[in-house]
Copies of this chain bind each other. A is one copy, B any other.
């Protein structure tokens, strides 16, 4: 028998929240999926798209009967949300999230929730350069990893149910310590996002100041498009991730700056063998990603 919930409340019906709603409804994992959010037009669209059954304007109304509450808003808003409706979470209900940062955030959520609520941190590694429920899909999580970040306080039955939920979505579920999660994702996801946003802003500056003829679209091959795809991601979401994972990220940006500095010096010196050695090293590491 697959995991099943009576009422699921999704707080933040965007790309990820909406896609999870589509999964819950398609796979019949819930009797009812209620949407909670700020923008009525968005919630109406979510109903139309089949991501939620209905929405409520008062969060308490959706939360108090839910046996599963999914937090799918930018991570820095968790505290505000939990302070607003946390007391309405019923005893025994599972609260989970889909945030890209864990670490201290998991501790905060555990502290803010009432006694009896069971929190399980989750991070489906799926996204798109498009945001919003209209970009959502019940297949968004298929074949993607989903990282669960249990702590000593995590209820094992709740953990198992969230695992089954993501497996039903087609994901490969992994467990990781919340702090290790942030270091790993800082490296493979948050750092590349910082760099992609900076690259695009650098290209805009180069275009403004030095090459007015610079037609980014016309002269670039697929390379630039691929390299910067992630720079079209939600500014609101990434703002929060960068702030929340700041300590890891700053260290990693500095490692990167030193690598860039080194390659720059080799180029400045016209050191062919030195450059080739750096590029060959990168090529070999990069090929591991194609395995």
Interface residues, chain A, with chain B CB atoms under 8 Å away: 76, 125-127, 129, 144-145, 147, 174, 180, 183-185, 187-189, 191-207, 209-211, 213-221, 223-233, 235-236, 238-240, 242-243, 246, 249-253, 255-260, 263-264, 267-268, 270, 272, 275-276, 278-283, 285-291
Partner of A279, one of B125, B211, B238, B251: B238
B233 pairs with A283, CB closer than 8 A: yes
Q: Which of A144, A184, A251, A282 has the most chain B CB atoms closer than 10 A to its own CB?
A: A282
Residues from chain B with Cβ under 8 Å of A288 in the complex: 216-217
A259 pairs with B213, CB closer than 8 A: no
Partner of A201, one of B199, B206, B281, B290: B281
What are 19 A-B interface contacts by the 8 Å CB criterion? A126-B221, A147-B219, A183-B214, A184-B213, A184-B214, A187-B211, A188-B219, A195-B227, A197-B279, A198-B282, A201-B282, A202-B259, A204-B281, A216-B285, A225-B289, A226-B226, A227-B228, A231-B286, A243-B275
Give A172 Cβ to nearest chain B Cβ, in Å.
9
With A and B bound together, what is the CA distance between A211 and B248 in angstroms?
A: 11
B282 pairs with A239, CB closer than 8 A: no
Residues from chain B with Cβ under 8 Å of A268 in the complex: 246, 250
Residues from chain B with Cβ under 8 Å of A291 in the complex: 217
A255 pairs with B205, CB closer than 8 A: yes
With A and B bound together, what is the CA distance between A207 and B283 in angstroms?
A: 16
Partner of A183, one of B210, B216, B249: B210
Q: A197-B278, A202-B259, A216-B288 are in contact. List 6 more A-B contacts (CB 8 A).
A: A202-B252, A202-B260, A226-B227, A228-B286, A236-B276, A246-B268
Residues from chain B with Cβ under 8 Å of A189 in the complex: 219-221, 223-224
Residues from chain B with Cβ under 8 Å of A256 in the complex: 198-199, 202
User: A214-B188, A242-B267, A280-B235 known; A198 and B253 CB under 8 Å?
Assistant: no
Give A33 Cβ to nearest chain B Cβ, in Å.
25
Residues from chain B with Cβ under 8 Å of A283 in the complex: 231-233, 235
Residues from chain B with Cβ under 8 Å of A188 in the complex: 203, 214, 216, 219-220, 224
